[in-house]
Structure 1
Amino acid sequence: MSTGPTLRVYLGPGEEPSGNGPADAVSSGAANPRPFRSRRRNRHGRGLRGELIPAHLAGFRSRSERFDTWVLESAQRLERLWGESIQSYQFVVQDIPPGLEELAATRGNIPFGAGTPAAGPKPAVITVYRHPIESAARGLVPVSELIHDVVVEQLATLIGMDPETVDPTYGRFRPL
C-alpha cells in the first residue's frame, strides 16, 4: 500500500535530509543540493538587487514611523522654547485612546491626546493618539502641525497655562 509521495525538507549542509521511502531518492536530484536559504530569492544567482524603496523617497518610512518623528520634532520645538524644564516630560504615542468603543457609541468627543501629571518618581506623561489625529487632519491641516498643537495643548494643561503662552505659533494652521 503506497502512502503517496513524501515531502523532503533539506535545511542546510550540516543536517541530514528528512523523509523516508523511495520518494527520497527521486526528490534528492543532486548529491549535495544547495540549502533552502541560499536558493530562496536567489534563483538565478543574482541575489537581492538593493533596497525596495530608497531612503530619500517618502515611502521609505512607515506612517507610524513618520508620526513618531513628528512627535519628537514637536517636543524638540518646545525644548528650544522652554529649555530644560521640558526634559522632565515623557512623550508617548499610542494608536487609539483607551475606551474608544464607548466614546464612539455615545458619540462623545474622541481625544487627540492626554496628559498625566507626575506622581512621585514617575514623570509627567503626554500621550498622543495617532489614529484620531490622522483622521482629523486628513486634507484640512498638516499632520505635523496638528500633532504639535495637541502636544502644546497637553503641556499647557499640565503646566496650567494657555496654549498660546506655551507656544506663540499654536493654532496657526487650524481652519477658521
Structure 2
Amino acid sequence: MRGPVAPPQVPLAISRADTFDSLVHESAERLRRRLPQLAGVDFGVQEVPWLPRDGAGEMSGSDSVPLGGVIRARGGQPDRVVVFRRPVELRARDRDECAQLVHEVVVEQAAELLGLAPESVDPRYGQD
C-alpha cells in the first residue's frame, strides 16, 4: 500500500521549510500589529543568502554569513524583508531557539528598513 505516511493535518506532514515560513510570517504579523507602516512590506524566506548585484538589497547578520536582508521597493514591487533559512537553522539548537532567532532577524531587518533601532520596532528585542 502506497500513500502518505500521515494525513496532512498531522504535524509529521509539515516540512521544516513550511514550519520556518510560519515562524517568519507569525513574527511579521506581530510587528505589523504594532507598526502600521509595515503593512505594505513583503516578508519572505530564501534558503541561502544572495549577494546584491546592483545595490537593490542590503544584508545584515552576525558573523560573516548574513541571516537576513532587505530589498528596497522598486519597479512597482514593495519593500521586502527576507530571512535566510539555512543560516538561521544552523545557528539554532532547537525549535524554540529557532523561533527566537527568526523573530530577532525579522525585527532587525524591519528596523533597518524603517531606519529605526530594533528596540523601537519591538521593545522586547534582546531581552529573551
Which band: TM-score by shorter chain?
Answer: 0.7 to 0.9
- In the alignment, does 2:86 pair up with 1:127? no
| In structure 1, distance between residues paired with 2:90 and 2:31 | 24
In structure 1, the residue matched to 2:33 is: 80
| In structure 2, distance between residues paired with 1:98 and 1:80 | 29
TM-score after normalising by structure 1: 0.59
Residue-by-residue CA offset, 1:28-58 (whole Å, 9 max, x unaligned): xxxxxxxxxxxxx38xxxxx6xx62256654
Q: Highest relative contact order (Cα 8 Å, sep 6+), 1 or 2?
A: 2
Q: Alignment RMSD, CA only?
A: 2.2
In structure 1, the residue matched to 2:20 is: 67
| In structure 1, distance between residues paired with 2:116 and 2:45 | 23
Instruction: Give the gaps of 5 or more residues in structure 2.
Output: 52-62
In structure 1, the residue matched to 2:49 is: 97
- In the alignment, does 2:121 pair up with 1:169? no
Seen in structure 2, the aligned counterparts of structure 1 residues 139 and 72 have a Cα distance that, compared at 3 Å, is closer
Secondary structure of 2:35's partner? helix
Instruction: Give the gaps of 5 or more residues in structure 1.
Output: 1-40, 43-47, 100-107
Tell me which stretches of 4 or more aligned residues in structure 1 moved more than 6 Å.
none
Secondary structure of 2:102's partner? helix
- Between Structure 1 and Structure 2, the one with more strand by share is 2
1:121 to partner: Cα distance = 2.0
Residue-by-residue CA offset, 1:83-117 (whole Å, 9 max, x unaligned): 3x211101121000125xxxxxxxx6100000122
| In structure 2, distance between residues paired with 1:154 and 1:93 | 13
| In structure 1, distance between residues paired with 2:12 and 2:82 | 26
TM-score after normalising by structure 2: 0.80
- In the alignment, does 2:108 pair up with 1:153? yes
Secondary structure of 1:142's partner? helix
